[in-house]
Each structure stands twice: as structure tokens, then as C-alpha cells.
């Protein structure tokens, strides 16, 4: 049976474009734990799927690691998606150029430093991509990452202040790199 309290929190997150990840990061302990919102949807998936269909959304369970919604008649590609993809591509290039393993981006104890990301702002090849996607025109790279990746549950900041891909972020990143 659906929990009224959890379903309201789930609705607020999903309708605002946030992914609900299988794991939540706990800053105080620097650990990942099972996300009760994910568990709630997983256990009651059929009920939640029907609920979101009634309001013209598809509830998507991706890679058995996160949930998100998309409009039934809508397109998967919109301005927000393009911005997310651009940021993930740039972060991936920075990781590769620095010689880091991909695990740095997905290990909740590691992550990428803001200084590494800020370095991209001085390179024209990254600025061209960012400006074409209407990013970093009036905001810094960390503001854009906070706006488009962290608030959507695609990344989080760990206790060291480093950026880490969530379950959803790792899945989206893998999708981008395999295309």
C-alpha cells in the first residue's frame, strides 16, 4: 500500500525533474544508504505507474538503480536534457584528460574537485560547448552543476565538497558514452 507521506515527497521530486536514486548519500557519515523513496516506489511500482499514467506521465525504472518520469506524449530531448548531457560530456572529458579512472566520479568517497571543473572555464573548447548550450553565460560552472545535476539527483557533493555521480548520473553518463 502506498504511503501518503512518502508519495507526496516522491511526487514533489519527480514532478520537479529529479531522479529518485536507489541510494542516498549521507554527508555526516560519508556513506551511501538505501533510499526510502526508491524502496517505496519499487515495492509499490504498479500502483505508482498507474498513478503517474493518469496524470500523463510514464514512470521509468532505469538500470534497476533509479526512477524518473517523462511526459507520455513528450519528447525525451529538451533544453534541460541537452544541458545535462553537455555538462556530463565535459566532466567526462576533464576526468579523462586528468588521467582519472571513471571510478573517481562514482565513488562517494572520491569525486571530482571544483578546481578541476573550474579549469574548464578557461579553455575555449569547453566554453564553446557551454555557451552553445546556454550554460555559464552568467553563472559559474559550479552553479550550473548545482542547477542542472545536483538538484535533479544526477550528482551530489560528498563531505569533502567533491562532485560525485549518483546512480542516475552514472547511468546517464554510461548511456552518453555508449552512444
**Residue of 98, 93, 94, 150 whose CA lies nearest to 117:** 94
Contact 142, 114 (CB under 8 A): yes
* Confidence at residue 79, expressed as pLDDT on a 0 to 100 scale: 86
Low-confidence ranges of the chain (pLDDT < 70): 74-77, 179
Each residue's pLDDT tens digit, 98-118: 899 999 999 999 999 999 998
Query: What pTM was computed for the model?
Result: 0.89
Q: Output the pLDDT for position 103.
A: 93
Confidence (pLDDT) at 75 = 62
The whole-number pLDDT of residue 5 equals 96
Amino acid at each position: 500500500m502506498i504511503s501518503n507521506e512518502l508519495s507526496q515527497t516522491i511526487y514533489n521530486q519527480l514532478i520537479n525533474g529529479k531522479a529518485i536514486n536507489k541510494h542516498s548519500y549521507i554527508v555526516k557519515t560519508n556513506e551511501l544508504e538505501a533510499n526510502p523513496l526508491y524502496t517505496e516506489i519499487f515495492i509499490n511500482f504498479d500502483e505508482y505507474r498507474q498513478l503517474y499514467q493518469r496524470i500523463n506521465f510514464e514512470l521509468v525504472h532505469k538500470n534497476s538503480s533509479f526512477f524518473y518520469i517523462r511526459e507520455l506524449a513528450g519528447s525525451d530531448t529538451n533544453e534541460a536534457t541537452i544541458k545535462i548531457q553537455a555538462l556530463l560530456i565535459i566532466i567526462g572529458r576533464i576526468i579523462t584528460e586528468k588521467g582519472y579512472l571513471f571510478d573517481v566520479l562514482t565513488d562517494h568517497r572520491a569525486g571530482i574537485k571544483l578546481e578541476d571543473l573550474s579549469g574548464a572555464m578557461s579553455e575555449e573548447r569547453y566554453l564553446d560547448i557551454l555557451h552553445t548550450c546556454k550554460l555559464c553565460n552568467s553563472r559559474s560552472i559550479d552553479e550550473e552543476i548545482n542547477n542542472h545535476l545536483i538538484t535533479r539527483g544526477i550528482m551530489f557533493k560528498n563531505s569533502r565538497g567533491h562532485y560525485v555521480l549518483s546512480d542516475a548520473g552514472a547511468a546517464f553518463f554510461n548511456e552518453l558514452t555508449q552512444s
